[in-house]
């Protein structure tokens, strides 16, 4: 897939070395349709290109959503991703009306402790189906 084609898709970018983040991606996979979004680790070449084009550096404690050429970060990324999911997850996007400084305070508190939280989440590796594999940009 060409860089421009990837950018035309909605892409959720996450810390690929984080169990909590991987579980979050699994949740999005389970609650969204194949055409709604793709997924990419922040450690990937594609992510480096995206951040280079935006004049930014990726922060591994953040997740990002690239949508219509705009890069959403932190709670905005998660809530915009939720908006692309099926109901009832889609309803979480209502929290976009909450001021970002409040949403991001909660987001960053969780992000800062994400590796500790991972210990309490069932540790099962997901083997993606063929259709799910197509949703990942490597």
What predicted TM-score, i.e. pTM, was given to this entire model? 0.89
Judge whether 12 and 63 are in contact, CB under 8 Å. Answer: yes
* CA nearest neighbour of 58 among 26, 14, 11, 9: 14
Determine what percent of the chain is predicted with pLDDT higher than 90: 72
Assess whether pLDDT exceeds 80 at residue 2: no
pLDDT, tens digit, 9 for 90 and up, residues 13-25? 999 988 889 899 9
Pairing status of strand 136-137 against strand 70-73: unpaired
pLDDT, tens digit, 9 for 90 and up, residues 34-78? 888 999 999 999 999 999 999 999 999 999 999 999 999 999 999
pLDDT, tens digit, 9 for 90 and up, residues 95-128? 999 999 999 999 999 999 887 876 666 666 778 8
Domains and CATH numbers, the chain: 3-137 (3.40.30)
């Amino acid at each position: 897939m060409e860089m421009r084609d990837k950018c035309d898709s909605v892409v959720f970018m996450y810390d690929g070395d984080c169990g909590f983040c991987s579980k979050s991606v699994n949740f999005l996979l389970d609650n969204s349709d194949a055409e709604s979004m793709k997924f990419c680790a922040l450690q990937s070449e594609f992510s480096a290109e995206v951040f280079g084009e935006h004049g930014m550096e990726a922060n591994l404690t953040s997740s990002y959503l690239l949508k219509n050429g705009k890069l959403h970060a932190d709670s905005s990324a998660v809530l915009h991703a939720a908006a692309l999911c099926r109901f009832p997850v889609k309803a979480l996007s209502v929290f976009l009306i909450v001021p970002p400084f409040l949403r991001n305070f909660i987001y960053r508190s969780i992000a800062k402790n994400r590796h500790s939280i991972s210990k309490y989440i069932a540790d099962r590796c997901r083997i993606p189906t063929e259709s799910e594999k197509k949703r990942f940009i490597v």
